[in-house]
Amino acid sequence: MKLQLLSLACMLSIGSWAQSTLIPDPVFELLLIEAGLDEFPQDGEVLTASIDTVTTLNLFTSGSTNVTDLSGIGDFVALEYLMVNFAELTSLDLSQNLSLQELHAYANDIHTLLLPPTESLIYLEMTGNPIGSLDVSQNPMLEFLSCSYCELSELDVSGNPELRSISVMVNTLSILDVNENLLLESLSCGVNELMDLDVSGNTLMKTLGCSTNNIGALELSQMDSLNYLGCNSNQLTSLDIQANQGLTYLDCSDNQIASLDASNHPEMIELFCQYNELESLEVSPGIIGLNCSGNQLNALDVSGVLNLAYFFDCSVNPLTCVQVSEAQISDIPDFWVADDED
């Protein structure tokens, strides 16, 4: 009798120790089996002890069947890296994954996301999800944030001073405050509803894309590291880039700019300034591509440009003179007429 009681006690002890985690999504469980974390036959659960030390989980599938439910993910308590791009998730609760450092959830159907309240999270990729709100206030060490092509009408990044890169293109943001993000090097916020964008304190900025908004002015005087600027299709009436001598690419087309001086930019190779109200334009000698069509230019001097080999378009201007060098004269269009005067 004592032996039977002892055997029963051992069985109860083992049963209570072998805790299971429910995995209702069959595709999720199959991926765990393929990773050696579970075994056939599929029964909708996995031993918790098999997953609670896992640090990396890649749930990307190349087939037609994708993960739709990540219930059970909370028991992956040591998880640091989660890849679930191109799945079919509609919600994602990671509030228990306090060790999470990187989340890649590109192109799902996620409407709601619960992030863990942790300083561990540094990388968040949510692009291509119909998410209407995103709370990153409890992730102060976040460095990379990508939530383009979502449905965000607001985004608060004031509690994320470590951010280096923000991508929020194609949303409906009317306000974006990056005054607390002094380490920011890249900002992409094109195709929103912004009327103002204050980047005057973001002195480390290298890449700024803010096209297709309603921005009326940009203060760039403190950005001496800026090398890419895309501010086309806004409401700019002036653009001062004298402090941004490292610019290699500038697109300020489709604005209302009356004059532009890009002559002191030795690294610049492409300039798009078409469809403004330019009456004055100065360009860098190193430029290889220039589109200044659709302006009010009466004269244009490109004689100092070494090689406009990529493209050159100055059409739809009231031009009476385009000044070229002796080396360029053989390459002028057939319909231009060379002036005998220097």
Whether residue 84 has pLDDT greater than 70: yes
Residue holding tokens 């056939």?
40
Q: Give the model's pLDDT for residue 309.
A: 76
128-165 pLDDT per residue, tens: 999 999 999 999 999 999 999 999 999 999 999 999 99
Q: Do 304 and 324 meet the contact criterion of CB atoms below 8 Å apart?
A: no
Spatial contact of 302 and 285, defined as CB atoms under 8 Å apart:
no
* pLDDT, tens digit (0-9, with 9 covering 90-100), for 158-187: 999 999 999 999 999 999 999 999 999 999
Token output for 266: 């030795």
Banded pLDDT at 337 (limits 50, 70, 90): low
Task: Please report the pLDDT score of residue 327 as a whole number.
Answer: 77
Q: What Cα–Cα distance (Å) separates residue 164 from each residue in 113, 128, 137, 178, 228? A: 22, 21, 16, 11, 15
Q: How confident is the model at residue 333 (pLDDT cuts 50, 70, 90)?
A: low
R_g of the chain, CA atoms, integer Å: 28
pLDDT at 301 over 60: yes
Q: Is there a contact between 318 and 297 (Cβ–Cβ < 8 Å)? A: yes
Long-range residue pairs from 20-23, CB within 8 A, at least 24 positions apart, any chain: 20/45, 20/46, 20/47, 20/48, 21/45, 21/46, 21/47, 21/48, 21/51, 21/72, 21/75, 22/71, 22/72, 23/71, 23/72
Q: Which amino acid is at 211?
A: S
- Going by pLDDT thresholds of 50, 70 and 90, the confidence category of residue 227 is very high
Residues 89-123 pLDDT 10s: 999 999 999 999 999 999 999 999 999 999 999 99
CA distance 166 to 133: 16
- Would you state the pLDDT for residue 324? 87
List pLDDT tens digits, range 252-291: 999 999 999 999 999 999 999 999 999 999 999 999 999 9
The C-alpha atoms of residue 274 and residue 171 are separated, in whole angstroms, by 26
Q: Which amino acid is at 207?
A: T
- pLDDT of res. 15: 44
Q: How far is Cα 194 from Cα 210, in angstroms, rounded to an integer?
A: 9
Q: Would you say residue 77 has pLDDT above 50?
A: yes
Can you say whether residue 41 is alpha, beta or left, with left for phi > 0 and alpha for psi between -120 and 50 degrees?
beta
pLDDT of residue 72: 98
- Cα separation, 326 vs 318, whole angstroms: 24
CB-CB contact of 60 with 82 (8 Å): no
Residues of 226-242 as b/e, b for ≥16 C-beta within 10 angstroms? bbbbbbbbbebeebebe
Q: Give the pLDDT score at 336.
A: 64
Q: Report the percent of the chain where pLDDT is more than 70.
A: 92
pLDDT tier for residue 6 given thresholds of 50, 70 and 90: very low
Pairing of strands 102-104, 123-125: parallel
What are the pLDDT digits (tens) for 13-22?
A: 444 457 999 9
Q: Which residues of 313-337 are buried (b: 16+ CB within 10 A; e: fewer)?
A: ebeebebeebebeeebeeeeeeeee
pLDDT tens digits, 320-332: 999 988 777 777 6
- Token pair belonging to 163: 């951010």
Q: What is the pLDDT of residue 1?
A: 40
